[in-house]
Amino acid sequence: MTASSRKPGKTPNKPRAPKPPATTTASTADPRAWRVLWSSTFAFTICFAIWMMFAILGIPLKTQLGLTDTEFGLIAATPVLSGSLARVPLGIYTDRFGGRIVFLLTMLVTVIPLWLLAYATQFWQFIVLGLLVGLSGACFSVGTPYVARWFPKEQQGFAMGIFGAGNSGTALTKFVAPVMIVTAGTWTIVPKVYSIAMLVTAALFWITSATNPAHRVENPPTFASQLSVMKDRRAWRYSQYYSVVFGGYVGLALWLPHYYVSHYGFHIEQAALLAACFSLPGGVLRAIGGWLSDRFGAQKTTWAVMWTVLACFFFLSYPDTALTVQSSFGPLAFNIAVSPTVFTVLMFTVGIAMAIGKASVFKFVSDEYTGNIGAVSGVVGLAGGIAGFALPILFGLLADLTGVSSSCFMLLFGATAVSLIWMHFSFRAHGPAVLPRASV
């Protein structure tokens, strides 16, 4: 049809433009993405192993320095404090300068304090050096955005799940550190070896990782703006949940070797091996928690996690009891105690549940916060880290005050119950989507 023959009032059909090919980000096309992921995961595993180092070192130090349980908890938890507080500012620096350089510098800063730990002899020296060594734990907030930006959105969860499996570094410490102590006959070998390992890890990371200037954020949020999300009640709620599943994980990972030694009388290498039955699944199964949360939803998954943990803590809380019942046949004596085997099975179950819960809580965050997920994640992670610092100290304080070693699980039982009650009243409007049918 010619232009003169077209009917008035009708416009010609414009030829449809060919659909442009799907744009590929630098992350999908860049072959360096997987190399960055594996090098970052390895580095984070070593950093987390060092962050949890005092779970093992604290046992000989308790004897050498004559520490109370409270002082032991303080030495064990001090690195967790600095590592938690540094997460938010290091996350901001990662946005501004790039993850590769911030990750490298954070690792290098800990090398000298690690070496000096071998020559520390007084309580305050371990506290000061522990604060510096604790910066290794802040690498989580550096590596998470660094890794995620190399992948497209549909692969970021999987990539961050692999990176988060570096939490299993705490199990690595429990396998390696006791062997070094027994072989060398002194605990001082551990910080020296870890200092060299950190230096080598930093060099390998720099060689195998990469930098993409496009990943930098021009105007990253300030520390004050990140904390401003605490005005949202949901952020408080998710911080409480994370203080149980992550803070409880860190606190127990630091406390369990000592618990096996003091309560059951195991040697340090046996205690560390059994404690690893809790730490290992709590680190490597986090990706499964993400998959379950995607499939069943964050509410159902977290609800199931909290009930599982609560049930285990109920049995773990029960102290060793000698009970005498007066019967018509005379007094009947009963001894009630959790055997080492049952204790380890229960802790293994708690470790699996906490691994799933760590992922499901962040599924809440990713579902409900789109524009400021980084800020909320930083605050929730900070809350979990602060809980991980406070719990070993509270565990020691309760043990010193009551003389009951299982009092640490009584505290965790109460904290978990608070989370369940909060969940019930927060999500009861959703009905059976959250709660079991019998409780609606």
DSSP secondary structure of 128-174: HHHHHHGGGGGHHHHHHHHHHTTS-HHHHHHHHHHHHGGGGHHHHHH
Question: 369 by DSSP, 3-state: which?
Answer: coil
Q: What is the DSSP letter of 215?
A: G
Question: 188 by DSSP, 3-state: which?
Answer: coil
| Stretch (H or E) spanning 96 | helix 87-97
Cα 387–chain centre separation: 11
For the ranges 12-26, 274-288, 384-398, the one whose mean pLDDT is highest:
384-398
pLDDT band at residue 84 under the 50/70/90 scheme: confident
Q: What is the DSSP letter of 371?
A: T
Full set of structural domains in the chain with CATH: 30-220 (1.20.1250.20), 221-440 (1.20.1250.20)
Share of the chain above pLDDT 90, in %: 42
Among 180, 182, 349, smallest CA distance to 281 is for: 349
pLDDT surpassing 70 at residue 299: yes
pLDDT band at residue 141 under the 50/70/90 scheme: confident
Rg (CA), the chain: 25
DSSP secondary structure of 229-285: GGGSHHHHHHHHHHHHHTHHHHHHHHHHHHHHHHHH---HHHHHHHHHHHHHHHHHT
State the chain's mean pLDDT as an integer: 83
Tens digits of residue pLDDT in 245-262: 999 999 999 999 999 999
Residues whose CB falls within 8 Å of the CB of residue 30, separated by 6 or more in sequence, listed in order:
150, 212
CA distance linking residue 343 with residue 396, whole number of Å: 19
CA distances to 42, 276, 309, 352, 439 from 345, rounded to whole Å, are 28, 12, 13, 11, 28
Residue 66 gets the label, from left (phi > 0), alpha (psi -120 to 50) or beta, of left
pTM of the full structure: 0.79
| Predicted pLDDT of residue 326 | 86
Retrieve residue 307's tokens: 């009930």
Pairing of strands 321-327, 330-336: antiparallel
Half-sphere exposure in the Cβ direction for 290 (13 Å, CA): 19
Share of the chain above pLDDT 70, in %: 85
CA distance linking residue 57 with residue 50, whole number of Å: 11
| Predicted pLDDT of residue 226 | 66
Mean pLDDT over 154-169 rounds to 77
